[in-house]
Structure 1
Amino acid sequence: MNQKSVQESSGGRTLVNALGIPFILLMIYLGGWAFWAFVTVVSILAMREFYSLGHKRDVRPNFILGCTATFMITLHFYFGPGHPIKIFRPGEILLLMVPLIILAELLRGRNNAMSNIATTLGGILYIPFLMGSMIGLREIDPIAPEMGLKLTFCLFAGVWACDSAAFVVGMKWGKQKLMERVSPKKTVAGGVGGLVAAFFFFIIIMQTGFLNSQYTMASVNFIDFLIFTVIIGIIGQAGDFAESLIKRDMGVKDTSSFLAGHGGILDRFDSLIIASPVMYLYVKYLIY
């Protein structure tokens, strides 16, 4: 990559960060339908990228049914099991979508039917099922909605801190490769730097009492903060490697060029996709 290309990439990255981060923080703050719409749109865009990767192997997933499943899944997380409006549960959504996808493939008459069906279902399980948990986390406590706001902020900001530290430390001190067969540029130093950044991020959160609330019985202790560190610093980075594994299998560097200097939507949300459901389940069943 020549110097001009590097400068253009850096400029695009800066612009996306300057516009994207405040917008995401605004959506988290607003919550409700605004955050639901944000996660739903991001899920659909990410699924489109995921399905487009299959085109390199002449695989044609069913994008329309993928979008249909996305709406149903994200609505489930928004309303929740205790809401008076009843929405299909995840298992019921799969019970509906699996036969629909198979029957639709029968009518489409395309080649590679088995791969088309598998990739359609794989995209649904990988993207909206996991990303929908962000909505569940934001709506975790209807009595004290600020807890969902704070926890979702910690999820996003923690992943950003981890990713940024991993990038900077890896560039400056990284020599030994962490998993070269999957992602040749990622180093042990970068991985450790990301984990340490996540640890100090949650130390600051703990010391400031950011997650304290007088309106809820839920309490977050030191052990919880250590678990959050592992979720962000280890599981989140594993999500990055998982997406790199898919891209390497498809022979591409980025899932798309949708975000200048960053690649695609999947490239930016890969860590969050894996960290979010783990954090959501931990908070839901072990804190609340």
Structure 2
Amino acid sequence: MLGWRLAISAILIPALVGILWLDHRAGATAPWLLALSLLLGVRSTWEMTDLLTTRAMRPSFLVSVFGVLSVLTAAWGSRWQGGALSNDLAVLLAIGMTTLLAFYVCFVKGAIRFREPGTTMESLGAELFTVAYCGVLLAITAQMRWLDGGRWGYAALGSLIVAAKCGDIGGYTLGRLFGKRKMAPWLSPGKTWAGFVGAILGAALGSWLWVTFAIPRMVPGAAAANVANVLAFGVTLGFVGLVGDLCESLIKRDVGRKDAAALFPGFGGLLDLLDSVLFAGPIAWIWWSVAPLIR
């Protein structure tokens, strides 16, 4: 299984780097990142509606994916208007208004399909939750692409991914080596307090390494603004990413599932791969907007 995971990673990582390289060359409209986001939105929506189809919940994939794709395309459409990049407030307004549209569509669908009490409100809640989780979080995270007019875009996105995934790796490593005390056994039996420390340390170390060695090669003339700021960023994202992991565990435990539908053998579902990044993304965007890691 380890060999299979390494083989898939050897394909996925260069493919992701290639897509982002093409997107960088395509300019500020970011068409390749949009295509990737739409693909992630469709797959994650399918996984989420599959997870939530239990008990009295019967979320519609078509209605949910309409909301998710509408939110993502609205974020891009509002970002590029009249040949000039719009401001962040306009993008947030577009995301909010499109989410409201999805709210209306979900309600109308429920009213049209209503026949007897028992599932309508539960299904409506599941659909709106899916739009927020798979659409809004991803749309806001993608806004890091346009930080500083796009100059910091992939350097900032890289800091998010590296911090979140180094946190995952650090948590897994220290948890396996030293984990004895369970952190939340009712949600995620594998999570330990040693893993919590590992997630924080891994994310902080990953952030420092990324800002110190990778960003100067991606953004000419850039330097770390403040080491304490970089480490605090990593610690915060490590914590938020761990919370995101626990929150996805909450979803799976409540519906009686171990994992989302497998994307690749040995990898679990896309939601299992994205949970820490999706939760930490909006925090990372705010952090870079208020206190950039580079100058």
Q: TM-score category by the smaller chain?
A: 0.7 to 0.9
Offset of residue 59 of structure 1: 1.8
- Tell me the equivalent position of 1:115: 122
Structure number with the bigger relative contact order (C-alpha 8 A, sep ≥ 6) is 1
Matched, 1:57 2:63: no
Equivalent residue for 1:264?
Answer: 269
Residue 68 (structure 1) aligns with: 66
Q: Does residue 127 of structure 1 match 2:134?
A: yes
SS across alignment from 2:54: helix
Question: Structure 1, unaligned stretches of length 5 or more?
Answer: 1-8
Q: Give aligned-pair identity as a percent.
A: 25
Distance 2:239 2:261 in 1: 25
Matches within 5 A, 1:124-163: 124-142=131-149, 145-163=150-168
Alpha-carbon RMSD across the aligned residues, in angstroms, is 2.6
Aligned to 1:198: 203
* Partner residue in 1 for 2:9: 17
Q: Is the CA contact 2:64–2:131 (under 8 Å) kept in the aligned structure 1?
A: yes
Amino acid at match of 2:54: K
Aligned length: 277
Residue 258 of structure 1: CA displacement?
1.9
Structure 1 residue 141 displacement after superposition: 3.0
Aligned AA (2:147): I
3-state SS of the aligned residue for 1:89? helix
3-state SS in 1 of match to 2:161? helix
In structure 1, the residue matched to 2:27 is none
1:145-183, Cα deviation, whole Å (9 max, x unpaired):
341011111211222222122112211221111211110
- Find the aligned partners of 2:82 and 2:291 in 1 and give their Cα distance: 25
Aligned-partner Cα distance in 2 for 1:207–1:103: 51
1:167 corresponds to which of 172, 182, 198: 172
TM-score by length of 1: 0.86
Note if 1:101 corresponds to 2:101. Answer: no
Q: 1:128 to 1:257 in 2, by over 3 A?
A: same
Residues 256-287 of structure 1 show CA distances to partners (whole Å, capped at 9, x for unaligned) of 12221011010111101100111112222444
**Residue type matched to 1:123 in 2?**
T
Mapped partners of 2:52, 2:247: distance in 1:
16
Structure 1 residues 203 and 97: alpha-carbon distance in aligned structure 2, compared to 1, 3 A threshold = closer
TM-score (norm 2): 0.84
Query: 2:190 aligned to 179, 182, 185, which one?
Result: 185
Q: Is the 8 A contact 1:195 1:233 kept in 2?
A: yes
Determine if the alignment matches structure 1 residue 29 to structure 2 residue 21.
yes
More displaced, 151-160 or 23-32? 23-32
Q: Quick one: which amino acid aligns to residue 158 of structure 2? A: F
Of 37, 40, 49, 2:38 maps to 40
1:278 to 260, 267, 283: 283
